[in-house]
Amino acid sequence: MAKEKTRTAKLTGAYLQKKYIVVDPGSRGKTKFHINNLFLDDPKVFGDITLYQIGRRYCESGAVIGMHFHGDFYELSIVTAGEGYIMTDEGELRVRPGDIHLSLPREHHDIRTVDGEKLEYDFLAFSVNSKYVSSITKIADAVRGGECSRLFRDERVSYLIALAISEVSLTDAHSSDMMCSILKQVIIYVIRNLTGAYRLTANVNNAEILCQNVMSYIDSHIYSVSSLKEVSDRFGYNYSYLSDLFSKTTGNTVSEYYRSRRLDAARALLDEGKKPISEISELLGYSTPFAFSAAFKKHFGLSPKEFAKTKMGEEAKE
């Protein structure tokens, strides 16, 4: 009986290794910080999503995770700092902060840093059931066929996965419901991003809807948009055409809207008082703190430094 139990355990372990991770060489190089919630032996089911692994890794320059084989699950890698390369059977992609990479089932996968750069990223390994299977399978087929990029950016997904990393270890009465809600939102945003759900036909009947979606996209990507062409490309339109349509519909150009929302975000960060002006300038993509200060003063009538002092004076009076 004992021998039979041992044999069963070995077979189960071999099956799990074959189904999920065939090669697990471990990382080479330094890892400063690693949270790894691993559920390969006992995947956690949250509604329509099955969770196999979720965590966070901070790698020093020169770190290599090591080539390994994914089983019957997808994996999202969300870059939060530094730069690196993510390799799959189709080649490698350079990733930067804000990039989200989708790895597919049954493919090889590796991550390494760029020379001289650290790399920090969150990760989520999952499979889907029920109503999401068709949509996710179509995305996988499109990626394999070269019709769809496996790389996208969406700050909502980054935020939700960071939230899930904190939530997954909780065991209170609401934790399971929270995880179901968080993961469902992640999957829906992934589907929308990679199936072009944000793209609309720009005609008289839906111009306002298109402009609203453009504004929503800018609002939710205010810290990661590198150029307004990125926004027009996201919706599948020429920038000049989209800007002209946006101007006729809203009375402002896309550039004016983006400039205003970026400065609103800067003011909110100054209100918090937790980040120095130089960091806020860099976070919002200004070329120099001087350029940021000039833009801020032109918009609000005060320099960032003057605004911060005014804020501190108001708080002192209170």
Secondary structure of the chain in the HEC alphabet? Answer: CHHHHHHHHHHHHHHHHHHCECCCCCCECCEEEEEEEECCCCCEEECCEEEEEEEEEEECCCCECCCEEECCCEEEEEEEEECEEEEECCEEEEECCCEEEEECCCCEEEEEECCCCCEEEEEEEEEECHHHHHHHHHHHHHHHCCCCCCEEECHHHHHHHHHHHHHCCCCCCCHHHHHHHHHHHHHHHHHHHHCCCCCCCCCCCCHHHHHHHHHHHHHHCCCCCCCHHHHHHHHCCCHHHHHHHHHHHHCCCHHHHHHHHHHHHHHHHHHHCCCCHHHHHHHCCCCCHHHHHHHHHHHHCCCHHHHHHHHHHHHHHC
Which residues of the chain fall short of a pLDDT of 70? 1-33, 196-206, 312-318
Q: Do domains 2-194 and 207-317 have the same CATH topology?
A: no
How much is the pLDDT for 20?
35
How much is the pLDDT for 28?
52
Long-range contacts of residues 141-144, Cβ cutoff 8 Å, at least 24 apart: 142/194, 143/102, 143/104, 143/194, 144/90, 144/104
Closest Cα to residue 64, out of 13, 109, 123? 109
| CATH number for the segment(s) 2-194 | 2.60.120.10
Ordered by start, the domain boundaries in the chain are 2-194, 207-317
pLDDT tens for 8-35 read 333 333 333 333 333 334 445 566 557 7
How much is the pLDDT for 13?
36
Question: CATH second-level architecture of 207-317?
Answer: Orthogonal Bundle (1.10)
| Spatial distance between the Cα atoms of 15 and 148, rounded to a whole number of angstroms | 32
